[in-house]
Amino acid sequence: MAESPPHAAFPRPGARAFALAGPWRWFPWFPLMVMAAVTLFATWLAANAGMVWLGALVVSPALVVALVIARDTAGMTLWIDEAGLSYRGAGYTVDAPWPRISAGRDSYGRTARLDDPAVSTSGWFGLLFAFSRRGAPLHGHLAAFWMRSVPLYCFGGDRVVAAIRQSAPPDIARLFA
C-alpha cells in the first residue's frame, strides 16, 4: 500500500461526506457499553473483597482504551468525489482514485475494494499496525487486506451507491449498478 499525506489532507475539497448510518451509527457505543459492564462487575468484586481501589486500578487503563476506540469509530466517514473514494476507519484513512476501485460484497452487503490505496494510520492504530506487520506478519497482512475493503452498507448503502454512480467514470459506475 502506498503512503499518503496525513489525515489533514482528507477529505478533498468538494467531496461528499457520509457518516455511519442506520444501526451502524450505534457501533461506536459498543466499546463503552462493554466497559460499563466490566466496570460494574470489577467494582462489585472489589467491593466484596473490601478493596474498592483495586476495581478502579484494574478498570482505568481499559476504560481509556475503550474511550479512544469509541472516539475513533465515531469518526468513521466515507468521502466520494470525482477523483475517487476516501474512507476514514478506526485509526486509519485510505484513499484511491476511481481506476483502482471495484465493487465487492461481504456477508453484510456491498463493499468497495481498493487496489493499492494510499494509506495513512494514526495514533494507537498506527502503532498496532506497525507492530503486527513486524511481530505477527499474518495478522499484519490480514489487517492490510481489510483496510482495502470499504463497507458501503455502514453509510446508507443506496445513498452511497447513488453518489458513486454520479461521481465515478461510467465504466466504474456500472460495477456498482
Type of residue numbered 39: T
The Cα–Cα gap between 150 and 101 comes to 10
pLDDT tens digits for the chain (177 residues)?
A: 444 444 345 567 788 889 888 888 887 888 888 888 888 888 888 888 888 777 777 777 878 888 888 888 888 889 999 989 998 887 788 889 999 998 888 888 888 888 888 888 777 777 777 777 777 777 666 666 777 888 888 888 788 889 999 999 998 888 888
> What confidence tens digit (pLDDT) does each residue in 146-177 have?
778 888 888 887 888 899 999 999 988 888 88
Q: In terms of Cα–Cα distance, which of 77, 81, 41, 71 is closest to 59?
A: 41
The Cα–Cα gap between 93 and 126 comes to 11
Buried b (16+ CB within 10 A) or exposed e, 13-39: eebeebebeeebeeebeebeeebeebb
